[in-house]
């Protein structure tokens, strides 16, 4: 019994369970398929946000180019779907049948070589993960091995985002230009536009997202996670202890890139198109605010943050388009100034103490299991309700994150 | 004959690059002061440039509507105004926001991104989404032809002169004035500077505001090469960050050299390639060089 409790506490399974219930049961039952598809689209961004929690919250390295990895994964998937959509029969009116329509419009007469691997689904699925990871490895290897971090890394990743966007828009014949790749309808002959397909894709997205959160949580609780936190707060000390700081950072950055790539691929599948507007600087910075709103230290919080910000964006940009950017600006400023730990931080600093106070007053402490004589109140109440456990166990994390917020510059004093 | 034509084209293309150089340098100078000296990332820097550009437009609009006799002389005054507006706003932003975030540089980045979003939407709501360009006074138009087949636009010369003056001014101020002394003291050791009686908070605020003011003047230079819209500033922000990091963050001389290098590379490759590919090539080159030499061209010898 105690071992199970330990397990639940350690991996924050309770909050994950609540999230899974919300995504897999509550939302599908309460929303129509159009809205659910929209939620599915938001969830693809949540992959990026989860990756950012690892890189930024735990690793202390802010990347402003996550949209690039999202885009690479998305484009890899979109290229496969586009090739399937432009078989010689449906594209018979083109001057060169069998190639994507935008190539035909740009007077390209044969399929470029780098498109060929995307004729096969297994190769595409490999590319969805491998291409973003490879780019991330190149960038992070060059930077972290030379001990570049902090704002310099942010600037370089931002420049990469600009380069990739300009490249995609400029090479219209090979990439579809500003419009991107549109009309992606089928996957191996399976129509992804039907309602049942949308449900299946949604659940695929939820399952993969929960899976990645578990993976990230496992890394966080392992020795590598502890080292990441240590590096963020006292980089030199970790280095003097004999660890290679760069390797851990490279690994985390590549992990985040791979997750973003998966998110991008799911985006192309669910939404049916991919365009450079999800690659550039603006979307990349927006993805950072998803993680920041949810709480940069909380994997589950990142998902909530993504859902909230995107729901707000959809609502406000439909009803009050002028107001939305002001709200977004207020979000950026407010989160960094007032709630650096985001929603998860608010939960831990306000809801948890309030609840535990209430609990102790009401029950007078008789709910204590045997053997917890010296446990602090927060830990005692942890047995009462699942949501409580999730946050009580992160008292340590919270302590660490408070330190982290103050010493975000390694070696500042 | 053939060669001299090629030379002329090269010269003119090089000169077109000089206008870009002027804008990049002014943007970069402002950033170098803020980023290099204070370690603060100002993502709203481009919007401060836009403010300057809109100020010039305002000057041109007001003078052509209400005082046609002043049309020929409004430009220098508008440049001063552009500096003042951006300076005042920079002062406010530092007071309201930046000073709380000095210990968290990555958060400054997000907060100033918020500022830039708010400013862009303000431009869109209160000034209008359309791009505007001021009517430049007659003496700025036209070109100077030192010899047959070689035309050098006068506004480019003017912008270059302006840039030269501002750059020299900043270098002088930083190395010879009281303010510069305080800034340098604060940069090298904040605690000690505080202990010997330098008001580091005031220094920070003044420094930030001056950096923003210079961005405003960059906006004035910008109006001579392009039209101003709500998102004009955003187009330059990455370039100007790269100018600063490429040159070596703490070195103003490095900023000058790297702005020149970037502008000329872009302008010359533009002649041979598509505009977008020229940009890709230039930026990739810089990123590659920065990966190999992250400290930039002119690294400061001070250990940070």
Task: Tell me whether residues B280 and A170 touch, CB distance under 8 A.
Answer: yes
**Residue in A150, A159, A160 closest to B106 by CB:** A150
In this complex, is the C-beta atom of B114 within 8 Å of any C-beta atom belonging to chain A?
yes
**Cα–Cα dist A290/A261, whole Å:** 17
pLDDT band at A68 (very low <50, low <70, confident <90, very high): very high
Using the predicted structure, report yes or no on whether residue B293 has a pLDDT greater than 70.
yes
pLDDT tens for A40-56 read 999 999 999 999 999 99
Chain A, residues 224-243, CB within 8 A of chain B, namely none
Q: Does A175 touch chain B (CB under 8 A)?
A: no
H or E element, residue B120: helix B105-122
Considering chain B, what percentage of its residues have pLDDT values greater than 70?
A: 95
Instruction: Kindly identify which residue of chain B lies nearest to residue A158, measuring between CA atoms.
Output: B238
Interface of A with B in 314-353 (CB under 8 A): 322, 325-326, 328-333, 335-337, 340
When pLDDT is averaged across residues A330-351 and rounded to a whole number, the result is 84
Beta-sheet strands, E only, within A232-386: none
φ and ψ of B42, to 5 deg: -115, 95
- Segment A283-294, tens digit of pLDDT: 998 899 888 888
Q: How confident is the model at residue B63 (pLDDT cuts 50, 70, 90)?
A: confident
Instruction: Check residue A387 and give its pLDDT.
Output: 40
What lies within 8 Å, CB to CB, of B119 at 6+ separation is B44, B47, B50, B51
pLDDT per residue over B189-242, tens digit each?
888 888 998 888 888 898 899 999 999 998 888 888 778 888 888 888 888 888
Chain B residues in contact with A328 by the CB 8 A cut-off are 114, 117
DSSP B98: G
Q: Would you give the distance in Å from CA B26 to the centre of its chain? A: 3
List the single range of A88-102, A124-138, B77-91, B253-267 with lowest mean pLDDT. Answer: A88-102
Residue A342 falls in which region: left (phi positive, over 0), alpha (psi -120 to 50) or beta: left
pTM of model > 0.80: yes
pLDDT for A295 beyond 50: yes
CB contact under 8 Å between A151 and B105, yes or no, is yes
- Give B171→chain A minimum CA distance, Å: 24
Tell me how crowded residue A355 is: count the other CB atoms within 10 A of its CB.
Answer: 19
Q: Are B236 and B26 in contact (CB under 8 A)?
A: no
Q: What does the CA dihedral B239, B243, B245, B248 come to, rounded to 10 degrees?
A: 180
CA distance B101 to chain A (A): 8
Residue among A142, A167, A329 minimizing CB distance to B118: A329
pLDDT band at A386 (very low <50, low <70, confident <90, very high): very low
User: First and final CA of chain B: distance in angstroms?
Assistant: 55
Q: A370: pLDDT confidence band, cut at 50, 70 and 90?
A: very low
- Residues of chain A contacting residue B291, judged by C-beta atoms under 8 Å apart: 139, 142-143, 146, 156
CATH annotation of B2-292: 1.10.3470
Task: State the CB neighbour count (10 A cutoff) for residue A350.
Answer: 10
Confidence band, pLDDT 50/70/90 cuts, at residue B148: low
Does pLDDT of B67 surpass 80? no
Q: Over the stretch A148-173, which tens digit does the pLDDT of each residue have?
A: 777 888 888 999 999 999 999 888 88
Q: CB contact, 8 Å: B129 with chain A?
A: no
- Residue ranges of the domains in chain A? 1-16+350-407, 31-340
Question: Which residues of chain B make contact with A160, given a CB cutoff of 8 A?
Answer: 287
Domain parsing of chain B, residue ranges: 2-292
The residue in chain A having the minimum alpha-carbon distance to the alpha carbon of residue B190 is A413
Q: What is the pLDDT of residue A130?
A: 93
Q: Is A151 on the interface with B (CB under 8 A)?
A: yes
CA distance to partner chain B, nearest, from residue A258 (Å) = 22
| In the predicted structure, residue A141 carries a pLDDT above the cut 70 | yes
Mean pLDDT, rounded, of chain B: 83
Structure tokens at B289: 């060089």
Per-residue pLDDT of B150-164, as tens digits, reads: 677 787 888 888 889
B276 contacts in chain A (CB < 8 Å): 166-167, 169-170
| H/E element, A344 | helix A342-346
| Segment A231-286, tens digit of pLDDT | 888 888 888 988 888 889 999 999 999 999 999 999 998 888 888 889 988 899 88
Asked if A330's CB is within 8 angstroms of B118's CB, the reply is yes
Per-residue pLDDT at A367 exceeds 70 = no
CA angle A376, A381, A387 (to 5 degrees): 125
pLDDT bucket at B146, cuts 50 / 70 / 90: low
pLDDT bin (cut points 50, 70, 90) of residue A363 is: low
For residue B97, give the nearest of A56, A139, A333 by CB distance: A333
In angstroms, the CA A374 to CA A397 distance is 21
Nearest CA in chain B to A341: B107
pLDDT digits (tens, 9 = 90+) for B235-291: 888 888 888 888 876 677 888 888 888 888 888 887 777 778 888 888 888 888 888
Q: Does A136 contact B at CB distance below 8 Å?
A: no
Q: What is the mean pLDDT of chain A?
A: 81
Q: A41-55, A79-93, A317-331: which has the highest mean pLDDT? A: A41-55
CB contact under 8 A, B118 and A289: no
- CB contact A403 to B (< 8 Å): no
Confidence at residue A327, expressed as pLDDT on a 0 to 100 scale: 87
Tokens 């498109």 map to which residue?
A115
Please give the average per-residue pLDDT across A333-355, as a whole number. 83
The verdict on A148 touching B (C-beta cutoff 8 Å) is yes
Work out the percent of chain A whose per-residue pLDDT is above 90.
Answer: 21
pLDDT at residue A362 in the model: 67
Measured CA to CA, the distance from residue B31 to residue B215 in angstroms comes to 8
Taking 70 as the threshold, does the pLDDT of residue A403 lie above it? no
Tell me the ipTM for this assembly.
Answer: 0.86
Among the ranges A156-165, B8-17, B99-108, which has the highest mean pLDDT value? A156-165
Nearest to B294 among A146, A325, A326 (CB): A146
């Amino acid at each position: 019994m105690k071992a199970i409790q330990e397990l639940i506490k350690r991996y924050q399974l309770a909050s994950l369970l609540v999230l899974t219930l919300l995504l897999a049961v509550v939302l599908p039952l309460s929303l129509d398929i159009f809205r659910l598809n929209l939620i599915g689209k938001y969830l693809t961004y949540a992959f990026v946000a989860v990756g950012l929690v690892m890189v930024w919250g735990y690793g202390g390295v802010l990347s402003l180019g996550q949209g690039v990895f999202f885009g690479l994964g998305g484009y890899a998937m979109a290229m496969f779907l586009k090739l399937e959509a432009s078989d010689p029969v449906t594209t018979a009116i083109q001057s060169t049948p069998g190639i994507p329509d935008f190539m035909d419009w740009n007077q390209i007469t044969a399929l470029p070589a780098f498109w060929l691997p995307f004729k096969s689904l297994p190769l595409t699925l490999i590319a969805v993960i491998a291409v973003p990871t490879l780019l991330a490895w190149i960038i992070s290897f060059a930077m972290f091995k030379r001990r570049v971090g902090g704002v310099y890394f942010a600037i370089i990743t931002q420049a990469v985002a600009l380069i990739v966007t300009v490249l995609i828009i400029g090479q219209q014949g090979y990439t579809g230009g500003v419009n991107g790749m549109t009309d992606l309808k089928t996957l191996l002959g399976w129509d992804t536009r039907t309602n049942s397909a949308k449900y299946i894709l949604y659940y695929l997205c939820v399952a993969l997202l929960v899976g990645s959160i578990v993976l990230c949580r496992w890394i966080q609780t392992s020795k590598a996670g502890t080292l990441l936190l240590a590096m963020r707060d006292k980089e030199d000390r970790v280095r003097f202890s004999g660890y290679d700081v760069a390797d851990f950072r490279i690994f985390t950055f590549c992990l985040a890139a791979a997750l973003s790539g998966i998110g991008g691929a799911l985006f192309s599948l669910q939404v049916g198109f991919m365009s450079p507007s999800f690659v550039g600087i603006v979307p990349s910075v927006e993805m950072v605010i998803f993680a920041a709103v949810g709480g940069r230290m909380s994997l589950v919080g990142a998902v909530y943050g993504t859902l909230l910000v995107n729901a707000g964006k959809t609502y406000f940009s439909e009803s009050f388009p002028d107001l939305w950017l002001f709200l977004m600006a207020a979000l950026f400023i407010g989160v960094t100034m007032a709630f650096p730990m985001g929603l998860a931080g608010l939960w831990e600093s306000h809801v948890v103490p309030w609840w535990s106070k209430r609990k102790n007053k009401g029950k007078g402490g008789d709910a204590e299991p045997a053997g917890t004589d010296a446990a602090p109140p927060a830990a005692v109440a942890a047995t009462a309700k699942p949501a409580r456990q999730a946050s009580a166990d992160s008292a340590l994390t919270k302590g660490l994150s408070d330190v982290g917020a103050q010493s975000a510059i390694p070696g500042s004093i | 004959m053939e060669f001299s034509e090629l030379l002329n084209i090269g010269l003119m293309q090089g000169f077109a690059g000089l206008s870009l150089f002027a804008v990049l340098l002014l943007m970069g100078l402002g950033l170098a002061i803020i980023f290099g000296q204070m370690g603060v990332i100002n993502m709203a820097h481009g919007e401060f440039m836009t403010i300057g550009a809109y100020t010039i437009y305002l000057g041109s609009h007001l003078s052509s509507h209400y005082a046609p006799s002043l049309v020929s002389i409004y430009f220098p005054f508008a440049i001063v105004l552009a500096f003042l507006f951006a300076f005042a706003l920079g002062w406010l932003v530092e007071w309201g926001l930046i000073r709380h975030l000095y210990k968290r540089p990555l958060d400054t980045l997000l907060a100033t991104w918020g500022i830039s979003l708010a400013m862009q939407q303000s431009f869109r709501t209160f000034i209008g989404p359309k791009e505007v360009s001021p009517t430049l006074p007659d003496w700025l138009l036209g070109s100077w032809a030192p010899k047959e087949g070689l035309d050098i636009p006068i506004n480019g010369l003017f912008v270059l002169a302006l840039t030269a003056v501002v750059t020299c001014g900043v270098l002088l101020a930083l190395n010879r004035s009281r303010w510069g002394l305080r800034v340098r003291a604060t940069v090298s050791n904040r605690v000690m500077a505080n202990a010997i009686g330098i008001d580091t908070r005031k220094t920070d605020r003044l420094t930030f505001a001056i950096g923003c003011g210079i961005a405003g003047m960059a906006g004035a230079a910008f109006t001579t090469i392009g039209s101003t819209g709500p998102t004009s500033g955003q187009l330059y922000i990455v370039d100007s960050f790269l100018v600063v990091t490429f040159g070596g963050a703490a070195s103003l001389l490095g900023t000058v050299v790297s702005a020149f290098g970037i502008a000329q590379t872009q302008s010359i490759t533009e002649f041979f390639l598509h505009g977008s590919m020229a940009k890709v090539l230039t930026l990739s080159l810089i990123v590659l060089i920065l990966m190999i030499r992250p400290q930039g061209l002119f690294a400061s010898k001070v250990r940070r």
